[in-house]
Amino acid sequence: MSPLPYKFCPQCAQPLQMLAAEEDGGSKTRLRCAGCGFTHWNNPTPVLAAVVELADQDGRLLLARNAAWSGKMFGLITGFMEAGETPEGGIAREVGEETSLTVDALELIGVYDFQRMNQVIIAYHALARGEVKLSPELAEYRLYRPDEVRCWPAGTGYALADWLRSRGHSPQFFDLPPRPAA
């Protein structure tokens, strides 16, 4: 089992424990406080993603490498929703903040499970334009024609594959390198 995300109750400061309790679906073991009954639900976090198509670059797709990533993996523009914003508003903001591009139109591609990171990905096609200026969060970017981009078998890679299929392309996947043992 992985390390617990929290050690103490945010309501009464007593130590949290893995405890079983009856819920709507039956008994469920979760991180709970024996003192006040607080439950850490550990629900997935919604993450926004965009397949960014550049209207003023002959429809090329922008993939970027996060500055925190090792290796040469390039992916979709992603980010977290802010309180009070819609998913559409959030991904338009993320594209603008991370690339300085202006989003002209958004279309929902789909919703994708990403359990490894305890996330649910809400993916959009973003038609955008402008001069790319990366935020410090991103190290570099590349532009690809839709027929030359390759997908990865995880989270946002499935969103990219679905978008490619919707445009009449057959997505090609590459294998991810094995993850180091913990």
* Phi, psi angle pair for 43, to nearest 5°: -70, 150
Strands (E), the chain: 16-23, 26-33, 39-40, 45-54, 60-66, 77-80, 102-114, 119-129, 138-144, 150-151, 172-173
Contact 42, 5 (CB under 8 A): yes
Tokens representing 7? 């050690």
Structure tokens at 25: 């679906």
Specify the pLDDT at position 179. Answer: 67
Contact 81, 154 (CB under 8 A): no
pLDDT surpasses 90 at 177 = no
pTM of this prediction?
A: 0.87
Q: How many CA atoms lie within 13 A of 97 on its CB side?
A: 14
> What percentage of residues in the chain have a pLDDT greater than 70?
96
DSSP letter for 59, please.
Answer: T
31-72 pLDDT, tens digit per residue, is: 999 999 999 999 999 999 999 999 999 999 999 999 998 778
The pLDDT mean for the chain works out to: 94
For 166, list phi and psi in degrees, rounded to 5.
Answer: -65, -20
Please tell me the number of Cα atoms within 13 Å of 159 on its side-chain side.
Answer: 27
- Judged against a pLDDT cut of 90, whether residue 20 lies above it is answered with yes
* Alpha carbons 156 and 144: distance in angstroms, whole number: 16
Confidence band of 82 (pLDDT split at 50, 70, 90): very high
